[in-house]
Amino acid sequence: MVKKTAILTGEAFSPLFFRHVSPGLGDSTLQFRFIHFWEARKNVKGGPCIFLGIEMLMIDEEGTLAQGFIGQNRRNQYEKELERGSIYTLTNFYASNSKVMYHVADQNLVICISHVSALSKVEENIEGILTERFRIHSFSDFEANCDLRGDIHDVVGHLKLVDGQPLHQRLVLCTKDDSTSRRVMVHLQLKNGPVMNIYLWDEAAENFCLKFDACAATRTVLLVTTVNPKRLGGKLRLSSMSYSRVFLDEEVDSPKEYLTWLKTAKAMKEEATSRNGKRKRQRNPKTPKEEPEESPKNQNNDKKRQRDTKTHKSNQHGGSSALSKRPKPSNFLDTLREKLSGGNFRRLNEKLYTCSGKEALDYFNEDPTLFDMYHTGYQQQMTNWPELPVNSIISWLSSRSSSLVVADFGCGDARIAKSVKNKVFSFDLVSKDPSVIACDMSNTPLESSSVDVAVFCLSLMGTNYSSYIKEAHRVLRPSGWLLIAEVKSRFDPNNGGADPKDFVKAVSDLGFSSSLKDFSNKMFILLHFKKKEQLNSNKKKIEWPELKACLYKRR
Ligand code: SAH
């Protein structure tokens, strides 16, 4: 493990990052923000709880979460210093592998503050250190981690029922009866998942009720941190822990983004319903029962819908999404042009999946206009996807430190670089923007071990895709992230796709460890890996499975 010593020379102070901390005494300086702290207690059968100390959750400039501990005999010395949200430096700490029942952070090590430690508050805020970072899991992740004592994660979703009550009646949850410990049960609908029962206990229940009641408008989205997945009566349920926190709607970024997604999804659904209704009405124009009630407002909307439906009818590519940015064809010639370009897109797409990266580069170099044609078709295809994988990657990056350096392999319109604060190197076969570096991504100009995150978002296209991943391995620093989003059907062994297990094994054999396998989306899968610290000594030949081409149907 790299041992980095902090240099405290006034100007050039470089703190030690959590990921570089090794077990034992540490005399370097850590710098972090306190996110949360709570009392650790041990339950004794029949007796009172024993107070063990204060546990803490901290985040460093790289966005790594670590757990800290202050023993009960040092409580008085430090407790009054602790302030949530503030930045601290810490020297002379002790990092222990001590057995914690559940981990609430990225690190397995616990950073203990001892009598020789120096903890001091930094008066100025450091913007580069995140104020929060959540580790949100999907239903399938909770299912996989159910009844295990290990890492526990956060959940976000929208409220369906609170203590069995629907939300449309204005509920008041806080009662004057504080004598018994509180419990609230919510039914939470997860994105791309089922409705889950979540039990909130004690402080989490209390805070939920206070926050829920505090606003005149009904709250919709709930985030609960560190929930424990358990199977009760055959059904998976999540329970809050003594250190869980609750956030509603716009309080912090994660539920805020969820709320935006929810509103967009609702608006798109309404639009699709109204279009379907309109289409039906056009097929059977004399069915008066189907006419909506007329108000001056929806008369206008109806005119607009008629306009939309007319253009939609002539749009043979079925660009049915509200997100489609392309002007819709207005006459027969436009429609014909569109059909031809659709054909070109399919031809180019097939070409990219069936040739090597080098051949693809030569092909586009000969006629760069083909690249525009490809991307027009690609954007059109994407309008049929309810959620874009690139947005998942953007929100992953946004929830981490913006100091992470990113390489976007096969960046297309460089959406990642345009959406995050990080330094992003964007690579594609053709550069349509000065920020994009044109190259075959099996051979980028980046130095070895120079980036923190390598992204492949729907871009493992060539027959030599393994050489792209090898290139990512070269440019990533140890412990760097490899994020892959790919079309789901390419990993469906029942339909000629690769077995995801074989793919994960091949990437792992190259020198990565798998950290996330998310199959919850209908259209794409997300695989996250971390580059191993040590080079693989095993030089066995890696078996890369063939990745089926993703060919789009004629519409
Ligand atoms: N990542 C973007 C674009 C995906 S389309 C997004 O999610 O929106 C796939 C992109 O990978 C295309 O722009 C294609 O040109 C690029 N690509 C495919 N093979 C490549 C290679 N060998 N080198 C560089 N870019 C490549």
What end-to-end distance do the CA atoms of the chain give, in Å? 54
The answer on 156 and 118 residing in a single domain is no
Angle between helices 332-354 and 369-382 (to 10 degrees): 100
pTM: 0.51
**Based on the domain organization, do 359 and 450 belong to the same domain?**
yes
CA of 358, closest atom in ligand 1: 22
Do 346 and 390 share a domain, yes or no? yes
Q: What is the pLDDT along the chain (555 residues), one digit of tens a residue?
A: 333 333 343 455 789 999 999 999 998 999 999 999 999 888 777 777 888 999 999 999 888 899 999 999 998 888 888 999 999 999 999 999 876 678 898 888 999 998 899 999 999 889 889 999 999 988 888 988 888 888 899 999 999 999 888 876 656 676 645 545 588 999 999 987 889 999 999 899 989 988 888 877 788 999 999 999 999 888 899 999 999 999 999 888 889 888 888 887 777 777 667 766 665 555 554 332 222 222 223 333 333 333 333 333 333 222 233 333 334 444 444 444 454 456 778 888 988 999 999 999 998 888 888 888 888 888 888 888 888 999 999 989 988 998 999 999 999 999 999 999 999 999 999 988 888 999 999 999 899 999 999 999 999 999 999 999 999 999 999 999 999 999 999 999 988 899 999 999 999 999 999 999 888 888 999 999 999 987 766 678 999 999 988 886 655
| Ligand 1 atom with least separation from CA of 442 | 22
Do 520 and 387 sit in the same domain of this protein? yes
Same domain, 105 and 155: no
- CB count within 10 Å of CB 287 equals 10
**175 phi/psi in degrees, rounded to 5:** -115, 170
State in Å: Cα 250 to ligand 1 middle.
35
Q: Is residue 299 part of a domain?
A: no
Q: Choose one of 233, 258, 283: the last residue of a domain.
A: 258
Please answer whether residues 524 and 487 qualify as being in contact, where contact means their C-beta atoms are separated by less than 8 angstroms. Answer: yes
CATH code for the domain of 34: 2.40.50.140
- Report how far apart, in Å, the C-alpha atoms of 10 and of each of 14, 332, 485 are: 10, 71, 43
> What's the gap in Å between 555 CA and the centre of ligand 1?
23
The H-or-E segment that residue 473 falls in is: helix 465-475
Question: Residue 12: inside a domain, yes or no?
Answer: no
Of the candidates 323, 328, 324, 312, which has an alpha carbon nearest to the alpha carbon of residue 278?
A: 312
- 459 CA → ligand 1 middle, Å: 4
**Residues 497/490, Cβ–Cβ less than 8 Å:** yes
Compute the distance from residue 541 Cα to the ligand 1 centre, in Å: 27
Domain CATH for 354: 3.40.50.150
> Ligand 1 pocket check: which of 363, 459, 461, 487 to mutate, most ligand atoms within 8 Å of Cβ?
459
> Which residue's C-alpha comes closest to atom 24 of ligand 1?
428
List the one residue out of 87, 86, 69 whose CA is nearest residue 78: 69
State in Å: Cα 550 to ligand 1 middle.
13
Cα 507 to middle of ligand 1, angstroms = 19
**Closest residue (by CA) to atom 17 of ligand 1?**
410
Ligand 1 proximal residues by C-beta, below 6 Å: 352, 357, 360, 378, 390, 410-412, 415, 427-429, 440-441, 457-459, 461-462
186: Cβ contacts below 8 Å, ≥ 6 apart: 159, 160, 161, 162, 163, 197, 198, 200, 208, 222
- Substitution candidate for ligand 1 out of 353, 416, 428 with most atoms within 8 A of CB: 428
**Final residue belonging to a domain, choices 90, 122, 154:** 122
Q: For ligand 1, what atom is nearest to the CA of residue 440?
A: 23
CA of 428 from ligand 1 middle (Å) equals 6
Nearest CA to ligand 1 atom 22: 357
Structural element, H or E, at residue 397 = helix 389-398
- 104 and 202 co-located in one domain: no
Instruction: State the distance from the centre of ligand 1 to the C-alpha of 110, rounded, in angstroms.
Output: 41
Residue 207: Cβ within 10 Å count: 18
Closest CA to 348 of 128, 552, 87: 552
**Position 453 in a domain:** yes
14-20: long-range contacts, CB 8 A cutoff, minimum separation 24 = 15/60, 15/61, 15/89, 17/60, 17/61, 17/62, 17/64, 18/58, 18/60, 18/62, 18/64, 18/65, 18/66, 18/106, 18/107, 18/111, 19/62, 19/64, 19/107, 19/479
| DSSP secondary structure letter of residue 541 | P
Exposed/middle/buried for residue 192 (C-beta within 10 Å: 0-12, 13-18, 19+): middle
Within a domain: 393:
yes
- Which ligand 1 atom is nearest residue 390's CA? 7
If asked whether residues 430 and 517 sit together in one domain, one would say: yes
Is the distance from CB of 70 to CB of 53 less than 8 angstroms?
Answer: yes
Q: How many domains does the chain have?
A: 3
The residue assigned the tokens 């980036």 is 451
306 belongs to a structural domain: no
Distance from Cα 460 to the centre of ligand 1, integer Å: 8
Hey, whose CA ends up nearest to atom 11 of ligand 1? 410
At 406, the amino acid letter reads: V
Centre of ligand 1 from the C-alpha of residue 461, in Å: 7
Same domain for 476 and 544, yes or no, is yes
What SS3 class is residue 256? Answer: helix
Residue 240 lies inside a defined structural domain of this protein: yes
Both 167 and 66 in one domain: the answer is no
Residues 174 and 111 in one domain: no
Length of the chain: 555
Domain that holds residue 163: 139-258
Strands (E), 451-542: 451-457, 476-487, 512-518, 524-531
Residue nearest to atom 9 of ligand 1 (CA): 459
Task: Tell me, yes or no, whether 232 and 341 share the same domain.
Answer: no
CA distances from 153 to 8, 67, 150, 226 (A): 35, 14, 10, 5
**Which of 461, 466, 467 is the pocket-test mutation for ligand 1 (most atoms within 8 Å of CB)?**
461
Distance (Å, whole) CA 63 – CA 507: 25
CA of 412 to the centre of ligand 1 (A): 5
Residue 128 belongs to a domain: no
Task: Classify residue 244: in a domain, yes or no.
Answer: yes
Distances (CA, A) of 74 to 23, 93, 115: 21, 13, 7
Rounded CA-CA distance 205/209 in Å is 6
- Which of 243, 258, 273 is the last residue in one of the domains? 258
Q: Which atom of ligand 1 is nearest to the CA of 456?
A: 1
Whether 242 and 203 have beta carbons less than 8 Å apart is answered as yes
**Beta strand residue intervals within 131-257, DSSP E:** 153-162, 165-166, 183-190, 195-201, 221-232, 235-240, 246-248
Atom of ligand 1 nearest to the CA of 364: 15
270: number of CA atoms within 13 Å, CB side? 7
Å from CA of 409 to ligand 1 middle: 7
**What is the C-alpha to C-alpha distance for residues 107 and 506, in angstroms, rounded to an integer?**
26
Residue 410 alpha carbon to ligand 1 centre in Å:
3
Q: Residue 286, exposed/middle/buried by CB under 10 A (0-12, 13-18, 19+)? A: exposed
80 and 163 in a common domain: no
Bridge partners, residue 118, by sequence:
91
User: Which amino acid residue places its CA nearest to atom 14 of ligand 1?
Assistant: 410
Give the tokens for residue 241: 């822990």
